[in-house]
């Protein structure tokens, strides 16, 4: 049965187009000069090859203006001598194609798209350095990228391959980076510095380590089913960041200062520690739910404001947000542990929690703070029905056996790429 995050061909083009900013796929072309295109190498309606003989007719072209399509019953394919394609290179539904080579190509201004190539084992494109987008879906026999030096690429989508690494794909700045359902991919390491639309890593190998230590900012970040995450230089996430169904034991983002949208941590069964001690503001919701081994929600020492809602549910002995001054949405803390509600009671009483308020936790015997009433061994619950000006809480949960559902009695507002990806199913 197809995984809910796996894309079929019918949904593929819709998703990838949505993941690009305004549909722009033009490479910057700093890696090569413009190459003159002979009139015989210009194809306004595109050029389609179904046999090697069709590709051989292109050998006298230094550059091609237009899209090139390879499909049909072709068993192997090679493009010789061509250095640039000013358009897309698309290889699709060639179910007998086992190898493809185009080592002379340096630049593709549009997409390099491989889809539905079920027996493709070998790709050789060692000269490619600049490409508008890499768009590879349903390549279950492909074990190596065949790339060595792609340093310019606006968008990356790699899904359902046998790749063990993403070697050779290492741009500095991208719009979209989406890697999902590659079961042999145990490590994803990249020197990407910025992601202007969405970064998503989901359901690859059982133990996938993710390293983006050069990344300084991104628009949206979503991780599903990863073993570890390292982002040593991340300072800003413009919209949302979420961690779901992962077996990472700790999440440390010591440099992160601002999240413009939601911060969500849900269904991470091995998670035991958090460190977001430089985070100052969350522009959406703050959600921590169903992380069964997490005993403390702490190391949020600088967090001053949450524009959306706060939802914290679990068995917590400690929930510490010592600098929190303002929550514009609702606030819900529900713990079977001995987390102390007193600081949040005070914040609510002073009007700094503007939405509905509820705090329920097992009381500490030492708790006698003014304004709270608790008895040793008893539970303590404070609620308020006032929701004037409140924002809706946000977050996510997902099931591997069925469609990923972005709801825990509230609506999620993740970035465009993640929302479209998981809502299709």
The CA distance from 289 to 314, in Å, is: 6
Q: Is residue 325 part of a domain?
A: yes
The structural domain count of the chain equals 2
Q: Are both 33 and 140 inside the same structural domain?
A: yes
Q: Are both 222 and 359 inside the same structural domain?
A: yes
Q: Are both 243 and 310 inside the same structural domain?
A: yes
Mean pLDDT in residue range 225-250:
97
Q: 155, 185, 215 — which closes off a domain?
A: 185
Q: Are both 14 and 118 inside the same structural domain?
A: yes
Q: Is the pLDDT of residue 132 over 80?
A: yes
Q: Is residue 327 part of a domain?
A: yes
The CA distance from 391 to 347, in Å, is: 17
| Three-state secondary-structure class, residue 357 | strand
Q: Are both 214 and 156 inside the same structural domain?
A: no
Q: Is residue 299 part of a domain?
A: yes
Q: 91 and 100 in contact (C-beta within 8 Å)? A: yes
Q: Is residue 337 part of a domain?
A: yes
Q: What pLDDT score was predicted for residue 207?
A: 84
Q: Are both 51 and 132 inside the same structural domain?
A: yes
Nearest CA-CA partner of 397 in 271, 224, 221, 218? 224
Q: Are both 172 and 251 inside the same structural domain?
A: no
The CA distance from 234 to 256, in Å, is: 6
Q: Are both 95 and 173 inside the same structural domain?
A: yes
Confidence of residue 22 (pLDDT cuts 50, 70, 90): very low
| pLDDT, tens only, 264-311 | 999 999 999 999 999 999 999 999 999 999 999 999 999 999 999 999
Q: Count Cβ atoms within 10 A of the Cβ of residue 181 and give its class: 0-12 exposed, 13-18 middle, 19 or more buried.
A: buried
| Three-state secondary-structure class, residue 273 | strand
**CA-CA-CA-CA dihedral for 15, 18, 23, 27, to nearest 10:** -70
Q: Which residue has the tokens 């969350």?
A: 282
| pLDDT, tens only, 340-382 | 999 999 999 999 999 999 999 986 533 333 333 333 333 445 5
Q: Is residue 193 part of a domain?
A: no
Q: 185, 216, 237 — which closes off a domain?
A: 185
**Half-sphere exposure in the Cβ direction for 111 (13 Å, CA):** 20
The CA distance from 212 to 91, in Å, is: 30
Token pair, residue 259, equals 């999240």
Give me the percent of the chain exceeding a pLDDT of 90.
75
Q: Are both 175 and 227 inside the same structural domain?
A: no
Residues in the chain: 425
| pLDDT, tens only, 196-212 | 999 999 999 888 999 99
Q: What pLDDT score was predicted for residue 364?
A: 52
Q: Is the pLDDT of residue 239 over 60?
A: yes
Q: Is residue 385 part of a domain?
A: yes
Domain that holds residue 236: 207-425
Instruction: Look over the chain and give the mean of its residue pLDDT values, rounded to a whole number.
Output: 84
Token pair, residue 225, equals 């089913």
Alpha-carbon radius of gyration of the chain: 25
Judged by average pLDDT, the poorest of 96-100, 147-151, 213-217, 335-339 is 335-339
Token pair, residue 357, equals 């308020």
The CA distance from 354 to 109, in Å, is: 50
Q: Is residue 192 part of a domain?
A: no
Q: 416 and 261 in contact (C-beta within 8 Å)? A: no
Token pair, residue 113, equals 């798209």
Q: Are both 149 and 257 inside the same structural domain?
A: no
| pLDDT, tens only, 79-94 | 999 999 999 999 999 9
The CA distance from 391 to 265, in Å, is: 19
Q: Are both 39 and 112 inside the same structural domain?
A: yes
Q: Are both 235 and 321 inside the same structural domain?
A: yes
**pTM: predicted TM-score of the whole model, two decimal places:** 0.81
Mean pLDDT in residue range 22-28:
41
Q: Is residue 200 part of a domain?
A: no
Q: 126, 151, 185 — which closes off a domain?
A: 185
| Three-state secondary-structure class, residue 69 | strand
How many H-runs (helices) and E-runs (strands) does the chain carry? Answer: 4, 34
């Amino acid at each position: 049965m197809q995984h809910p995050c796996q894309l079929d061909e019918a949904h593929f083009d819709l998703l990838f187009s949505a993941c690009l900013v305004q549909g722009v796929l033009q490479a910057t072309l700093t890696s090569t000069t413009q190459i003159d295109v002979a009139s015989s190498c210009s194809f306004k309606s595109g050029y389609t090859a179904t046999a090697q003989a069709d590709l051989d007719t292109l050998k006298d072209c230094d550059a091609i203006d237009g899209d090139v399509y390879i499909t049909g019953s072709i068993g192997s394919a090679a493009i010789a001598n061509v250095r640039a394609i000013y358009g897309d290179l698309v290889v699709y539904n060639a179910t007998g194609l086992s190898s493809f080579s185009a080592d002379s190509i340096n630049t593709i201004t549009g997409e390099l798209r491989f889809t539905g190539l079920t027996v493709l084992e070998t790709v050789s494109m060692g000269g490619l350095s600049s490409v508008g987008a890499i768009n590879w879906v349903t390549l279950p026999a492909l074990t190596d990228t065949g790339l060595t030096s792609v340093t310019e690429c606006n968008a990356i989508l790699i899904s359902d391959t046998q790749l063990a690494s993403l070697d050779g794909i290492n741009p500095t700045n991208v719009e979209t980076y989406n890697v999902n359902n590659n079961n042999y991919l145990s490590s994803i390491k990249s020197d990407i510095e910025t992601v202007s639309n969405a970064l998503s890593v989901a359901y690859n190998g059982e133990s996938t380590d993710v390293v983006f230590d050069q990344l300084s900012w991104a628009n949206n970040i979503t991780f599903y089913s990863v073993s570890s995450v390292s982002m040593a230089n991340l300072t800003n996430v413009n919209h949302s960041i979420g961690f779901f169904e992962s077996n990472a034991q700790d999440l440390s983002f010591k440099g992160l200062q601002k999240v413009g949208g939601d911060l969500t941590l849900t269904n991470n069964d091995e998670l035991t520690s958090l460190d977001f001690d430089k985070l100052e503001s969350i522009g959406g919701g703050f959600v921590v739910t169903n992380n069964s081994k997490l005993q403390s929600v702490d190391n949020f020492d600088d967090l001053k404001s949450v524009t959306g809602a706060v939802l914290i549910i679990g068995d917590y002995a400690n929930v510490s947000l010592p600098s929190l001054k303002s929550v514009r949405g609702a606030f819900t803390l529900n713990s079977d542990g001995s987390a102390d509600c007193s600081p949040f009671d005070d914040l609510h009483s002073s009007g700094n929690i503007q939405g509905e308020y509820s705090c329920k936790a097992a009381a500490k015997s030492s708790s006698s703070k003014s304004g709270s009433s608790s008895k040793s061994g008893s539970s303590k619950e404070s609620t308020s029905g006032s929701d004037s000006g409140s924002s809706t809480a946000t977050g996510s949960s997902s099931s591997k056996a069925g469609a990923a559902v972005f709801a825990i009695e509230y609506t999620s507002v993740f970035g465009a790429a993640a929302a479209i990806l998981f809502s299709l199913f």
